[in-house]
Structure 1
Amino acid sequence: MKLGYYPDVVNENATRIVASSVVLLGVLAILFPNPIVLGILAVSFALRLSYGPKFEPVAFITSRWLVPLLKISFIPTAGPPKRFAQVIGFSFAVAAFALFHYGQWDAYKAVLGVLVFFASLESFLGWCAGCFVFGLLMKTGIIPADVCEKCNNLNFNKQQ
């Protein structure tokens, strides 16, 4: 297994469920600031960013057990934009951790508030801000088209 593998196609419904875990952890970290919840949030993003749902507990449980158990349909969506969104989420989690460490409480809550807001859009409305930005960056040529070549060649409806 190579380091940094992320699937070309992911289940949109599973990503929405996983986004709800970010909402929950983010709200908990705002209400009860502590390094443990922040660490879980940052490590979760890092694991999803590196390997998709393979090693991150919430994503793994969601994709392997919860989705089949609840008979949640597989709605394919492109993986690279979702990975880009994970990078942004990871950046916000690390920034929140640093702000927590340095006692910058207002900035800490603001950063987590933004993270919770955008995770809520993904979770409850199915709109991924990171995916939207990814699409804009592809249209402007900042992200080369071949980054998403495999997912563009698949025959499914894109959610972006």
Structure 2
Amino acid sequence: MATFFTFPNPVNERAARTVAAGVVVLALLTLVTQSKVILVVLALGFLGRVLAGPRLSVLGWVAQRHIAPRLGLPKFVPGPPKRFAQGIGATLTLGAVVFAFFGNPAVAWALVGVLLVAASLEAFAGFCLGCWIFGHLQAWGLIPDDVCEACNNVTTRFGRAEDGERAPATSA
């Protein structure tokens, strides 16, 4: 059971960007319709991905199993920064749920707007804002080096399947 609640490491960046594209669609739908139901679905998806990677997320599972394999060979990146980014998404969406139901809905929609920008950067430009923040926190010593050894050593690179290399097996 303990292995069920793990996050993959390494992560296929193509799957991560596919998930981000799905988040963009859901966030846009949430903002356009101001639907609390879609907002809750979005928050539960982030919570599931933080807890167990794609295992508890329909969007994550579909991206990893069905969409990303059709986009080409995997491109591997470290998992811990991606999990951190999912945690930021969970925090934003859970905060938005609280504000939408119990506080100020305008704040909820603003939080979804921030999420929309971050997910768009990941989906369309390949820039993971959460990963960038993770890297800075690790550089400042706020995240221990052993959380992501590949992140703190710039000479360590995850192999790309298209280069004929295999990604190293690491643990989160």
TM-score by length of 2: 0.84
Q: How does 1:136-155 map to 2 (within 5 A)?
A: 136-149=136-149, 155=157
Most deviating of 125-134 and 53-62: 53-62
Kept in 2, the 8 Å contact 1:27–1:116? The answer is: yes
Partner of 1:49: 50
Partner of 1:37: 38
Kept in 2, the 8 Å contact 1:8–1:150? The answer is: no
Partner of 1:133: 133
**Which amino acid counterpart does residue 51 of structure 1 have in structure 2?**
A
Q: Deviations over 1:56-94 (max 9, x none)?
A: 1111111112222x2422000010000000110000001
Call closer, same or farther: CA 1:101–1:157 in 2, change over 3 Å.
same
Alpha-carbon distance in structure 2 between the residues aligned to 1:103 and 1:142: 32
Give the Å deviation of 1:154.
6.1
Q: Any gaps of 5 or more consecutive residues in structure 1?
A: none
Kept in 1, the 8 Å contact 2:14–2:71? The answer is: no
Does residue 8 of structure 1 match 2:9?
A: yes
Partner of 1:156: 158
**Which amino acid counterpart does residue 111 of structure 1 have in structure 2?**
L
Give the Å deviation of 1:157.
6.3
**Which amino acid counterpart does residue 146 of structure 1 have in structure 2?**
D
Structure 2 SS opposite 1:86: helix
Alpha-carbon distance in structure 1 between the residues aligned to 2:15 and 2:134: 20
Alpha-carbon distance in structure 2 between the residues aligned to 1:142 and 1:103: 32
Partner of 2:96: 96
Partner of 2:166: none
Most deviating of 141-150 and 118-127: 141-150
Partner of 1:66: 67
Structure 2 SS opposite 1:53: helix
Alpha-carbon distance in structure 2 between the residues aligned to 1:81 and 1:32: 31
Kept in 2, the 8 Å contact 1:76–1:156? The answer is: yes
Identity value in percent: 38
Alpha-carbon distance in structure 2 between the residues aligned to 1:150 and 1:8: 10
Q: Any gaps of 5 or more consecutive residues in structure 2?
A: 161-172
Alpha-carbon distance in structure 2 between the residues aligned to 1:71 and 1:130: 23
Give the Å deviation of 1:110.
1.0
RMSD: 2.0
Q: Structure 1: which 4+ aligned runs deviate by more than 6 Å?
A: none
Alpha-carbon distance in structure 2 between the residues aligned to 1:31 and 1:110: 12
Give the Å deviation of 1:112.
0.8
Provide the aligned length of Structure 1 versus Structure 2. Answer: 157
